[in-house]
Structure 1
Amino acid sequence: MLTAIGLVELNSIAKGIEAADAMLKSAQVEILTSRPICPGKYIVLISGDVAAVESAVRAGVNLGEAAVVDEFILPNVHPAVIPAISATTPAVDMQALGIIETFSIASLIVAADTAVKAAEVDLIEIRLGTGIGGKSFVTLTGDVAAVKAAVEAGSASAAEKGLLLNKVVIPSPHRNLVPSIM
């Protein structure tokens, strides 16, 4: 059972691969994704029990040193986060649309987890850094009040680190926009 996830984001691909190896060797964790992202960064996203994820992230950060851009440990990740990262979220009824955009992958995943825990919303997708200059964004839907609350809560966590780029709530997205979001 997935209990925790952790991520280390580095500005060096070589150091990122080395950090991934150190993370796997330091604790009993599974890699959810380990790959280069734009612009020449590398992410390592792992899962496991809380203590193992903490140990592995610490190992990755220690090895990565100055190459570490951002990192996190989410001990009780919301069940909707992993499907949204892997773009396997089941189709949802589009209501209001919320978007949070950040400068780092780590800050965005934490923002998405915070948002979905703050209000009754459905995550649509968590887009991580590839093909968008290393930025990330999450799209979510629900009734207008819930989307506003979720976007505010999620964007606050990224803003605390100075990594919030933008946040938007569209109360009633045009029906022709919906297919490009889903």
Structure 2
Amino acid sequence: MKTMAHSIGVMELSSIAAGYQTEDAMLKAADITILVARTICSGKFLIIASGSVSAVNASLEAGEMVAGSYLIEKLTIANVEQQLFAAIAGTVTVSDVSFRALGIVETFAATPIIEAADAAAKAADVTLLRVHVSMAIGGKGYFLVTGDVAAVEAAVDAACSAIELSGMLVNRVVIPAATKELMQELL
């Protein structure tokens, strides 16, 4: 029986074949759940795993050994914000988000958006609507967050600060009173 996930591990590889091999090694190494394991734009492979901190660390260590020179980037977030899981999976349900602020952060790569979204959700009372990682958008990542204007601004600021040194930020936007039509389009 799997325990509640407290950690996320991300591996991005430059080889699709090595990606599948790495995923297998990660699953064999520890009791983790694979949230995402797929090809992404520009011929890369992305793996996002969840589980206890120790399980995720063990799986990433095993994955790194198998990935070898195909490993582009690796990230571990311990004590991850729980709403991140639903936002990655695309299973967020929101009752009334019309006329609330909408924040969007966009990165050049998949891995930094996970880190940014976690920082945003931890920084303010917001709802992560979606975390999109690299599928059909040229290898980029983005997240959508909603809440009151001050909370969304704080969340977007925290997200950008979390990835500032990586140089991966493409853009950040806060729409103070998103239209009902725009919000419905996103859900």
Of 71, 75, 79, the match for 1:76? 79
Match of residue 58 from structure 1:
61
Spell out the pairing of 1:96-107 with structure 2 (5 A cutoff).
Answer: 96-107=101-112
Q: What is the RMSD computed on CA atoms of the aligned residues? A: 1.4
Contact kept in structure 1, 2:35 and 2:89, CA below 8 Å: no
Match of 2:6 in 1: 3
After the TM superposition, which residues 84-99 of structure 1 pair with which residues of structure 2 at under 5 Å, given as runs? 84-94=87-97, 95-99=100-104
Listed as ranges, the matches of 1:1-182 within 5 Å are: 1-94=4-97, 95-182=100-187
Letter in 2 for 1:80: Q
> Which portions of structure 1, spanning 4 or more consecutive aligned residues, are displaced by more than 3 angstroms?
none
Answer with 36-45 or 54-63: which moved more.
Answer: 54-63
Tell me the number of residue pairs that the alignment of Structure 1 and Structure 2 aligns.
182
Distance (Å, rounded) in 2 between the aligned partners of 1:158 and 1:55? 25
Instruction: Using structure 1 for the length normalisation, give the TM-score.
Output: 0.94
Greater Cα offset, 26-35 or 127-136? 26-35
Partner secondary structure for residue 176 of structure 1: helix
**Kept after mapping to 2: 8 A contact 1:92/1:122:** no
Unaligned runs of 5+ in 2: none
- So what's the TM-score if we normalise by structure 2? 0.91
